[in-house]
């Protein structure tokens, strides 16, 4: 990762040296107030991350639309022609979960080592250091909305309408996704300063995490029967990403049960048949928990950053 920021960003950041460096014992309220006061710096760093990624690229940020579009086409061909699993429009089901996972994975992988890679900036300038991790999360949010645009185009091509009555729950689910991702990004970025192996460890964890989330398989058809039979279905939902993915799939894929495209055309259970109120209460509860997790991450980050300069 390049330790480069735009000149005007670094100049403004350097002006922050005139301010008192935040104490490691600063209260949580002080840390949050400092973050909100540096919104312009955060926005500039997000823009910088995107520009660096597509530096010298002819198409630039358009690649963020072309790449998911290409993968969506590949999913369609593979699962509709070569590996027909019987799920109708499985590419749509898969991509509805992938947009969530891609944001989570991209943000976490890029944020984990960001403080180490930008050690020069951390040592020279007084600013809330977690902004570096949050900038990576912010860049991933930009890519997320681009992929949502690709998903909407695919819906138009299919002539497939989303579940309009559930659409208003998506911002709540996205809020939970953002705060969960931001919390882990802030935590792992601080831990990596002391444990450089965290970057490699997080890659392995994410690979396992992917298959613990209902993306490439149907939760109701593959997981729920086994868990319900043992009365431990709640264990699967200890993974916050599960509920978020199921919500996005419910909105975009819509169908809870479908007929298999393979003989004998049996009924397949795709998604939970929860009413809209259940999705709302679960997601709003998850959002509250993820906000608390983010605040906890801020507290831990404040304690760990005391020795950043000496460790870097």
What's the pLDDT tens digit per position in 50-95?
A: 777 666 665 666 666 677 777 777 777 776 666 677 788 888 998 9
The pLDDT of residue 111 is above 80: yes
Residue that is written with structure tokens 């689910």 in the block: 173
**Domain interval for residue 196:** 23-311
Q: Which residues contact 186 (CB under 8 A, 6 or more apart)?
A: 111, 130, 133, 134, 294, 297, 298, 301
Domain assignment of residue 13, yes or no: no
Helix axes 90-112, 63-77, angle to 10 degrees: 140
Domain assignment of residue 198, yes or no: yes
Mean residue pLDDT of the chain comes to 83
Residue that is written with structure tokens 């890029």 in the block: 110
Reading the block at residue 152, the tokens are 């909407």
Domain assignment of residue 14, yes or no: no
The string of pLDDT tens digits covering residues 159-217 is 999 999 999 999 999 999 999 999 999 999 999 999 888 888 999 999 999 988 998 88
Provide the residue count of the chain: 312
Q: Domain count of the chain?
A: 1
Domain assignment of residue 5, yes or no: no
The pLDDT assigned to 65 comes to 66
Q: Which residues contact 122 (CB under 8 A, 6 or more apart)?
A: 115, 129, 132, 308, 309, 312
CA–CA dist 251, 102 (Å, integer): 18
Q: Residue 268: phi, psi to the nearest 5?
A: -115, 135
Domain assignment of residue 12, yes or no: no
The pLDDT assigned to 311 comes to 73
Q: Residue 27: phi, psi to the nearest 5?
A: -70, 165
**Chain centroid offset of residue 136 CA:** 10
**Chain centroid offset of residue 292 CA:** 17
Domain assignment of residue 240, yes or no: yes
Domain assignment of residue 212, yes or no: yes
Domain assignment of residue 17, yes or no: no
């Amino acid at each position: 990762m390049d330790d480069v920021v735009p000149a005007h960003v670094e100049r403004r950041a350097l002006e922050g040296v005139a301010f008192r460096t935040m104490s490691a014992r600063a209260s949580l309220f002080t840390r949050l107030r400092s973050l909100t006061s540096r919104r312009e710096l955060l926005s500039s760093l997000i823009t910088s991350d995107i520009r660096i990624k597509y530096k010298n690229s002819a198409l630039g940020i358009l690649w963020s639309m072309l790449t998911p579009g290409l993968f969506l086409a590949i999913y369609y061909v593979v699962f509709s022609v070569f590996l027909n699993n019987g799920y109708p429009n499985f590419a749509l089901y898969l991509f509805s979960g992938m947009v969530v996972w891609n944001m989570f994975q991209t943000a976490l992988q890029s944020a984990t080592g960001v403080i180490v890679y930008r050690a020069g900036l951390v040592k020279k300038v007084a600013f809330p250091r977690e902004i570096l991790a949050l900038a990576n999360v912010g860049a991933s949010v930009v890519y997320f909305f681009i992929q949502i645009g690709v998903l909407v185009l695919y819906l138009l091509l299919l002539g497939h309408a989303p579940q309009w009555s559930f659409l208003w729950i998506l911002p709540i689910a996205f809020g939970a996704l953002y705060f969960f991702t931001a919390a882990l990004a802030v935590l792992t970025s601080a831990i990596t300063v002391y444990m450089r192996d965290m970057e490699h460890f997080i890659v392995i964890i994410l690979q396992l995490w992917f298959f613990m989330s209902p993306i490439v398989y149907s939760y109701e058809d593959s997981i729920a029967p086994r868990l319900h039979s043992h009365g431990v279905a709640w264990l699967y939902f200890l993974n916050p990403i599960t509920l978020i993915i199921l919500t996005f799939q419910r909105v975009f894929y819509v169908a809870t049960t479908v007929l298999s495209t393979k003989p004998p055309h049996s009924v397949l259970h795709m998604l939970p048949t929860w009413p809209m109120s259940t999705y709302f209460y679960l997601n709003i509860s998850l959002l509250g928990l993820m906000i608390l997790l983010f605040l906890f991450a801020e507290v831990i980050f404040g304690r760990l950053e005391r020795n950043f300069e000496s460790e870097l």
